[in-house]
Structure 1
Amino acid sequence: MLKIIEVVRGLGLGGAETLLFRRLKHSIEAGILAPADITVINTYPRQDYYEKQFRALGVSVLNTKSNSRILSSIELVRYLGSQGKEAVLVAHSPFPASIVKAQSACRGARFPIIEVAHSTQYSWLTLSLGLVWNRYADLCIAVSDDVSRAVTTRGFRRKLVILAGVDQAEMRLWVEGSLDVALGMRESLGVKSSQRLIVAVGSLVALKGHRFLLDAVAELRDSNIHAAIVGEGDERASLEQQISRLGLVGRVHLLGRQADAWQWAAVADIIAHPSLYEGLPVALMEARVLGIPTVASDVGGIAQLFDGASASRLTAPESSADLERAIREVLDDLPLFAEEFLTRASGPTRWDISRYSREFYAALASESIKFASRSQDRN
């Protein structure tokens, strides 16, 4: 059985952390992994939403004492130096990964280093470190073809694209027994049976582009269209001011963080995702599996997600006019919510968590075998 050390920069409600939790949960429940063989190291303990959930699974969670990038990375390296050689290191954040790769270059690798690349954009410092140290990783797992081609994955000797997945069975089970709950969720926002609800899931930060969605809703000039944004962040005050300025109070709702944000997506007529850049957004994987028409910026791996989704539309980033046009096109062909809710999450999908977990752990096992073979040859 593999011993896996997963390194993250925070355990908040971000996409990478959510994917990690769901992958480990599925793999433990399916008997692929034993909880005792998994350690999660959080180098930004200020964000700890998933810590209790990991511990409930029996997974060991270690928090660095410092939130500082440099100090927490030093703590990480010291911890790794105390571990046996049978582990596989999986790094989900590029900065601590660079420190580990640098240490490996100077002192030799104790175990395989696998970095998961989730984004098409990093800071100049992180990119610079990557260009120097990425070649000392054994493998880069990119979450989409676009990420694999991006500047964020330059310098790796080997790259592998593994498309993530979500738990369709869990979604389907909820949908089958939740029509009244779904209608109640919509009614709690003041959405009547004949009205439409657009839902966006993403932190309230500038790069998510929520301001363009608000402009698009205003440009639709239709009082029967509501919008809800699930997430929290430092753009809340600015978005609240924009909602007031555009006369959208009572029709646009900021719902804050939600533990099961996908359930809000499930009660939408349309999903909107106007991000400025992305890797492979979890919210849109969920929308794809649910079968909900989606309007999203043509950035990152989103086009790959949309392959075969005829009811969805790609739009130019930072264009409220393009977003408004796409929403209008999708709305023209939609049945009423109550007529099609019970069909959600019922179709075949490539975005299933079982396939994702199998491919991910097969890659880790392969790297572990290769590393052990190289170590024997050196000895």
Structure 2
Amino acid sequence: MSRRLKVLQLQGSYNIGISGLAEQIIQGLPTDRVEVVNAFLSSAPSEAPVQSVASRTVYFDLSQSQLKGLRLKALFRLYAFCRAESFDVVIAHRFKPISLLMLLNRWLNISLCIGVQHGVGDFDRAYRRWETRRLLTGNWRIVAVSRAVYEYLLNCGGGFTAANTLRIDNAIDIQRAESIQLSRQQAREALGIAPEPFIFGAIGRLVPVKGHIYLLEAFALIKDDHPNAQLVIIGEGRTRAELEHGIERLGLQGRVHLVGDRNDAQQYVKAFDVFMMPSLSEGLPLAMLEAMAGHLTVIGSDIDSLKSILEDSQGYLFPVKDVPALAEQMEKVLSLSAEELQAKGSSAYAYVCRSHSIADYQQHYRDLIEQISITEALPHG
């Protein structure tokens, strides 16, 4: 094709993690052959988003209510936009944008549609599986961001197969991560943490699936034997009240700190001595990879998306929801010398550099998108 490919990258709302990865896809595409338009179903975020290299960014300003039920306004607005722009490729991130494009592409007939699935559970509902089986035509490719998401899709009964589904693990820009990391002293000062304690730290939304309550209960088992240890959780969400009650119930006042949301939370990872991820479910854990870029030892649950990462990086695993086992792993880390702890952090850093390179991530998407340069259109239906 002599003209540049025209690509739409569609997201629901701005999310610093997912939107940052979406921007990396754009940055990996050759501007002489590809033009990218960024679009969000929601309004512009209140915080300043990452400056995009896309040709332009569009916000549809749709409310949450307009993205539920029949979604007629959302479908009409998106259809008119895509029809006017004549995109060759659409990349849709997460379930809602994918679902809308699956419905609309019966009429739009876009040559290549890429749906990026960032987590598990979206197709647990029978209706969603039935709808996807009907709409997943030959011009769709579904990208799973981790082994756990890939296996979930293939086994959920939604029509996902090895022919239409592939795995491109999420990655991080290690160079950027290192450039924004505050020093240990700066990070602790910014979070209001004293310089002396040994800090177990976690970053994530305060929601049940992140497993923070199990982390509190495990910390309660070791706190008396390790008076210099403290726990810090960066994030905000609907389980804050439950966690605050847990802190009081377990006698953890002054030892556990819920410091709330922080923009670009990865800059604070060096405030921690050990990074914790007690999640019950994850797609691919960017927060853990970011902690590894800060040379931190990591402890996580043995869910599928974490297990291989922790094994390959010499981290510490415990059976999900197993509070005594989690406390035992925390005890093991506390028994390490400073040199041993540093060596564990170096192993984690080497792993993330080896296995989650942003350059490889960009190349995989570039190869996928440039299929359209080889053939005028993919087979439909």
Common fold: TM-score over 0.5: yes
Instruction: Measure how far apart 1:304 and its partner are.
Output: 3.1
- Answering whether residue 34 of structure 2 is matched by residue 65 of structure 1, we say no
Identity %: 22
Inter-CA distance 22–220: structure 2 relative to 1 (3 Å threshold): farther
Partner of 2:95: 94
Q: Give the count of matched residue pairs.
A: 363
Match of 1:149 among 151, 157, 178: 151
Inter-CA distance 137–216: structure 2 relative to 1 (3 Å threshold): farther
- Answering whether residue 179 of structure 2 is matched by residue 161 of structure 1, we say no
**SS where residue 4 of structure 1 aligns?**
strand
* Conserved 8 A contact 2:89-2:110: no
Letter in 2 for 1:121: G
- Answering whether residue 48 of structure 2 is matched by residue 42 of structure 1, we say no
- Answering whether residue 220 of structure 2 is matched by residue 218 of structure 1, we say yes
Distance 1:265 1:199 in 2: 8
Match of 2:324 among 317, 321, 334: 321
- Answering whether residue 114 of structure 2 is matched by residue 117 of structure 1, we say no
Q: Matches of residues 16-31 of structure 1 in structure 2 within 5 Å?
A: 16-24=18-26, 27=27
* Conserved 8 A contact 2:112-2:378: no
| Residue deviations 1:58-107 (CA, integer Å, cap 9, x gap) | 6413224333222434422332122224x3100112233123223323x3
* Conserved 8 A contact 2:148-2:304: yes
Letter in 2 for 1:357: Q
| Residue deviations 1:258-281 (CA, integer Å, cap 9, x gap) | 122112223311111111111101
Inter-CA distance 73–182: structure 2 relative to 1 (3 Å threshold): same
Q: Matches of residues 245-260 of structure 1 in structure 2 within 5 Å?
A: 245-260=249-264
Q: Which runs of 5+ in 1 are unaligned?
A: none
**SS where residue 294 of structure 1 aligns?**
strand
Inter-CA distance 189–199: structure 2 relative to 1 (3 Å threshold): same
Distance 1:260 1:252 in 2: 21
Question: Which deviates the most, 222-231 or 131-140?
Answer: 131-140
**SS where residue 229 of structure 1 aligns?**
strand
Distance 2:148 2:201 in 1: 25
**SS where residue 355 of structure 2 aligns?**
coil
Inter-CA distance 83–165: structure 2 relative to 1 (3 Å threshold): same
* Conserved 8 A contact 2:38-2:54: no
Instruction: Measure how far apart 1:50 and its partner are.
Output: 6.2
Distance 1:115 1:302 in 2: 23
Distance 1:120 1:350 in 2: 21
Inter-CA distance 99–305: structure 2 relative to 1 (3 Å threshold): same
**SS where residue 372 of structure 1 aligns?**
coil
Instruction: Measure how far apart 1:116 and its partner are.
Output: 0.6
Question: Which deviates the most, 153-162 or 3-12?
Answer: 153-162
RMSD: 3.3
Inter-CA distance 340–149: structure 2 relative to 1 (3 Å threshold): closer
- Answering whether residue 350 of structure 2 is matched by residue 358 of structure 1, we say no
User: Hey, which bits of structure 1, 4+ residues long, moved more than 6 A?
Assistant: 336-346
Distance 2:48 2:7 in 1: 17
Distance 2:76 2:291 in 1: 39
* Conserved 8 A contact 1:73-1:96: no
| Residue deviations 1:110-145 (CA, integer Å, cap 9, x gap) | 231100111121251444432332345521111112
Letter in 1 for 2:145: V
| Residue deviations 1:209-255 (CA, integer Å, cap 9, x gap) | 11111111111123211111111111112211211222212221112
Q: Which runs of 5+ in 2 are unaligned?
A: none
Letter in 1 for 2:273: D
Partner of 2:335: 332
Instruction: Measure how far apart 1:11 and its partner are.
Output: 1.1
* Conserved 8 A contact 1:38-1:60: no
Match of 2:240 among 229, 236, 242: 236
Instruction: Measure how far apart 1:344 and its partner are.
Output: 9.6
Distance 1:167 1:316 in 2: 30
* Conserved 8 A contact 2:111-2:139: no
* Conserved 8 A contact 2:79-2:108: no
* Conserved 8 A contact 1:11-1:42: yes
Letter in 1 for 2:165: K
TM-score, L = length of structure 1: 0.83
**SS where residue 176 of structure 2 aligns?**
helix
Distance 1:344 1:308 in 2: 9
Match of 1:3 among 2, 6, 27: 6
Distance 1:31 1:100 in 2: 22
Inter-CA distance 244–172: structure 2 relative to 1 (3 Å threshold): same
Instruction: Measure how far apart 1:197 and its partner are.
Output: 0.6
Instruction: Measure how far apart 1:52 and its partner are.
Output: 3.6
**SS where residue 276 of structure 1 aligns?**
coil
Q: Matches of residues 122-133 of structure 1 in structure 2 within 5 Å?
A: 122=122, 123-124=124-125, 125-133=127-135
TM-score, L = length of structure 2: 0.83
**SS where residue 217 of structure 1 aligns?**
helix
